[in-house]
Structure 1
Amino acid sequence: MDTILRSLSASLSPRHIVPPYAWVEHIPFALYLMETMRPKRFVELGVHTGNSYLAFCQAVDVFHLETTCTGVDTFAGDEHAGRYASNVYEELTAYHDPLYGQFSTLKRSTFDEALAEMPDASIDLLHIDGYHTLDAVEHDFSGWLPKMSPQGVVILHDINVWRDQFGVWRLWQDIKNHFPSLEFAFSHGLGIVAVGKTIPPVLSTLFAEPELTERTFYLLGSRIRYEHLACQAKIENEKPVLSRLYIDRGAEFSERDSMSARFDPETKQVHFDISAFPDAKRLRFDPMHDSAVITLVATSCEDSSGNAHTLTPSGHNALYQDNGIFDFAARNPRFIFTIPEDITVQTVTVAFDVLHGGMAAQSYILNKIHRELATVRREAGNREARLLAQIESLEAENTRLHQQNDEFKSLPGVQIGRFLKQMTALFTTLRPQKTETQDNEKTPAV
């Protein structure tokens, strides 16, 4: 992915980042897509505070694109995004209009109202990030599909969110089987689908290496997110005060079936009594509320007979994990434990240590991301060098063959004909001849 890493967009820092941060890690992809695809018309459905939309606008401005941008939102909010504060639209337009007003419009309306005013086959790039129920997103996708140009591309956010009646993931499972597509699992998930007759060349390249593409943009996005967070507060080494345990009784985790316990800095342990939950199936342990680099020393439980059992994590949300050290870049780090079916747990004890907490953890993880990016760049450079060497070798061989062909063509026709006759005579001479004597010979009687 050396092309991505060497692009101008890879070195850009977003001008505008405000909460919520769900889209921030996709900003490098937005910038790269605009730089390379260069759409004539871009539309975003669901602008909210503008992190994604303003990133697309920034690309138009920086790369001097001839792109018309339209951001559509009622700016009232919904059940998934929450109800917007009354000043969201005013603050966004105050920032947006002086910078991007010459090519961009923030349209305060419903998606259907904006749809009626949009010409058919006119949109090269559409980003859908509105109300996330299955019915709503299906309506938006199918309704806006006729508005897409022959090289149209649709981006869908939240394809990896499965809670609170989010249904984008269901739609994505269907449409990715009908169109060329690419998906990113990180930062709530992003689906990219080419819906036009012609696939833009940049997407053909990215589609060919989906895993490497996702990893590259994940690293670039993580760098932006944690650089931003590191600027928001003084770096400090936060230690946990309270840990929380969630109990799954067969109906997923919930606040109702959860409890808190104080972390003991002397023993570096936290204890939970869950005897009130004899039907516990799984446990979710949140050691602290902020980003952290944690060493998980041991997790054990005691059953109703007083026997001790070791619990091993069956899942976690760490960005990196190596030899029992877990790097949690996101807030609310968590471990998942599955309880064996044949025991009833009474108590749970978790022994762990926090190597870095809060902003110190984010700074530590950010440095690790920078190192990994450097490794990716180095590997990409090495691969490019190998490919160039192979190309040079092939070009040299091709030149040699052309020279041989030219030398052969330079032979006079008479010489070629004489040469062929000589070779025919030679083969005739060397071929064994059957004699008349041989034909008359009979096998002697024994």
Structure 2
Amino acid sequence: MRNIRPYPALISDDNDVDLFVQNFSRAAVQPFPAPIVGFVPLLFVDPYRLPPEVVEKLEINLGKLYSLFDDPTQHATVERIINTCVPVAASAADLRYWAGVYHTMLGVVQGSTEAVFNGYTQQARGLEQAGESDLAAALQAHAGVDLTPETSRIDDIFAGKADSTVSDSGVMVSDFITEFAHTTPAKVAEWMAMIVPVMENELKANRSANISFVTQFDRELSNQLFGSGQADPAFDEALAGWYKLFSEQPIPIFEHLSARTTYFALLPFARADYDNQRPLHDVLNRLDVLQSVAYSLADYKTSLAAANNQIRWAQTAGDFYQAKKASEAAWEYASRLLKNGVSNIHTEALWATRSFAQLMSLDNNKHRAAELLLSVRQNFTFSSLEFSAQLNYILAVIELADLFGQAHQDANRRRLLTEAAQLYDDIGLNTEAIKLRQLHNLR
């Protein structure tokens, strides 16, 4: 490779490893960018020498590092990290390539094909960044060939490599599916208690015919139970175990499942709380799929909730770039739904607007933040909102007042704060109204 420096030799001395681990643990609880500064030196430590609790945290930190590379506003931060944490002379392209190599190595250590594939992807990105587009293309082709039996197996099924109606154990979809015609939810629940373990074993077999068999069965099942367009919620309750079976499956499988199964399998992610043990990119991708399939099923409220939860996850992970990207997408989506007259998404739409305004303000785009907060007053009628949305409306008014204050428009600031206090009174939060008036010396 002409423009990428060789990866430095890995550190395996116990004393050095212990020191790096201690620094990583201390930095993890400090403000950004300290956690990344503490993490980067571990890229030069033999992963077999790291404690299991540290290895478990490596992939999510790799994701945060990749986000820095992708954010044009963080170039200076990346340079500081390289100058501070990398033991040899390096460019941003070098560090990205090395991080990809380490990610692939980590996948081998953990037995994670997805991590191996992600590592190859980042190596290719580093090569492209260094101007080695030909080598990047060759690496991607090489990785695709090497990983096809595992990471690409789902796509292979639908390229004529397997009979999608028969598992390699000889069981046929027709052996199951005809029994579901004209049945009851109770009977479905009884059958699924036996079928789910069978299908779970088919997925664990990790072969094309098995996975094809499961996805074909799912599509036929959905057609049998819901093909008439009359979706009985009792059937969805009976299929709860079936939907749960796919919740943590690799994302490519959702391209080949029915929309209904994909929807219910991923629905918990719309409200899932942040978990720092999960790779951020995995959850963001699952929420992308949920957003799309919910929209296709005309469940716009869930679709927007999925978009908003992308913001929450990215913010909590400290990934400002992904949070800003997700908030802009959620706001644009919410605006489109409001313009089209969708009426049951006001709570989520208001939250998306306020979140985007907050992130614009943090990005020092105060004018855009003010425009967004002004749109809250234009697009939403306070009295028609549910309670949680009314609180967000009031907070948007207070945040708009703060922006006017920063612009030295004190009269507008006081007018908006007085309005916010009155709105608190209107919904019975008199104590909050009193506090606001006292804090800002309002009459």
Return the TM-score normalized by structure 2.
0.24
Higher relative contact order (CA 8 A, sep 6+): 1
Higher strand share: 1
Larger % of helix: which? Answer: 2
